[in-house]
Amino acid sequence: MTLTSKPLAVIVLILVFGGILFSSMMGWWATESTKQPVTFSEGEFAGQANPADIRGSYTFGDIANSFDVTPEILAQAFGITEGNPSEFAVKELEVIYLDSGFEIGTASVRLFVAYYTGLPFDTTDQEIYMPQSATDILLAKGNLSPEQVAYLEKYTVTVDASIPAEEPVVDATPAPAVSSSTTSEEFTVKGKTTFGELLSWGVTQEVIEAIIGTSMPDPAMSVKDFASANGLDFESLKPALQSEVDKVKP
């Protein structure tokens, strides 16, 4: 059988677009992420979302839909202080931390989510940098293995989480997991201090709950907002919390 150019052109077009059409009908054609990470197919975590499949196009809200971590915690971990955390796209981190000298981006979020949720994540031969604020939250959560703590100690860089997202300032040297550069000012309980920050400073959830007299709310909630919502006086909670902070701060 001999073919000339015109039948060949027709065949090429039919195969390309017919193939796309067929794959669409079969549900195989996807040009963007479904925002649903693949799940572990076997083992102890079978059926649970795999943090290794988090994509740069995911927002913190998308991640929260698949993993037990709130957008607010993710925003706090990665120093995002402006805008709606749920709408923050992971890939924007790479732009924000572009000048840091370290790649803090999608891989960092994957690692954070894995360590935060206790899901498996392979870091073999990978250099995944983590901002200090993220490491603080992970260490405060207290569910890391010694190997994971050692990995964080090796790849944590100090980040001022109070800097707005558009203007991050990153110290270009890896720092110990708990940075000695943190000032006492940052360990002061203020109206905007969140429960997540208290956890990241080292105050345990049990101690916090003992002071507020009930279960700890969402870590992203500020202590003052919690007090207002529950008819409590923030000024009476503040000294007790500050006292606990003073006990554990470095």
Partner 1 sequence: MVTVFGKRIRFFRPRTIWVRRVVQWFFFLLIVLISINHTLAEGGGGLSFLSSASLHAVCPFGGVETLYTFAASGLLVKKIHDSSLVLAGIVLILSFLFGPVFCGWVCPLGTVQEWVGKFGKKIFKRRYNHFIPTRIDSILHYARYGILAWVLYVTATSGTLIFESYDPYFALFNFWSTEVAWSAIAVLGVTLLLSVFVERPWCKYACPYGAVLGVTNLFRVFSIKRAESTCKADGACSIMCPMNIPVDSVKVVRDHQCISCLECTSEAICPVAKTVVLTSGGVK
Told to check if 225 binds partner 1 by CB under 8 A, we report no
Q: How many residues bind partner 1 (CB under 8 A)?
A: 32
Query: How many CB atoms sit inside 10 A of residue 83's CB?
Result: 13
Q: Yes or no: say if 167 and 95 are a contact pair by the CB < 8 Å rule.
A: no
* Binding window for partner 1 (CB under 8 A); candidates: 21-29, 171-179, 198-206, 220-228: 21-29
Half-sphere exposure of 129 (CA within 13 A, CB side): 20
Angle at 139 between CA 187 and CA 42, to 5 degrees: 150
Told to check if 29 binds partner 1 by CB under 8 A, we report yes
Told to check if 2 binds partner 1 by CB under 8 A, we report yes
Q: Which of 98, 87, 96, 180 is nearest to 136 (CA)?
A: 180
Told to check if 9 binds partner 1 by CB under 8 A, we report yes
Q: Yes or no: say if 79 and 161 are a contact pair by the CB < 8 Å rule.
A: yes
Nearest CB to partner 1, comparing residues 2 and 180:
2
Told to check if 21 binds partner 1 by CB under 8 A, we report no
Nearest CB to partner 1, comparing residues 61 and 217:
61
Told to check if 50 binds partner 1 by CB under 8 A, we report yes
| Residue 23: C-alpha distances to residues 8, 19, 26, 29, 72 (Å) | 22, 6, 5, 5, 38
Pairing of strands 156-159, 130-131: parallel
Q: Yes or no: say if 161 and 131 are a contact pair by the CB < 8 Å rule.
A: yes
Nearest CB to partner 1, comparing residues 100 and 242:
100
Told to check if 53 binds partner 1 by CB under 8 A, we report yes
Told to check if 31 binds partner 1 by CB under 8 A, we report yes
Nearest CB to partner 1, comparing residues 34 and 215:
34
Told to check if 55 binds partner 1 by CB under 8 A, we report yes
Told to check if 46 binds partner 1 by CB under 8 A, we report no
Told to check if 30 binds partner 1 by CB under 8 A, we report yes
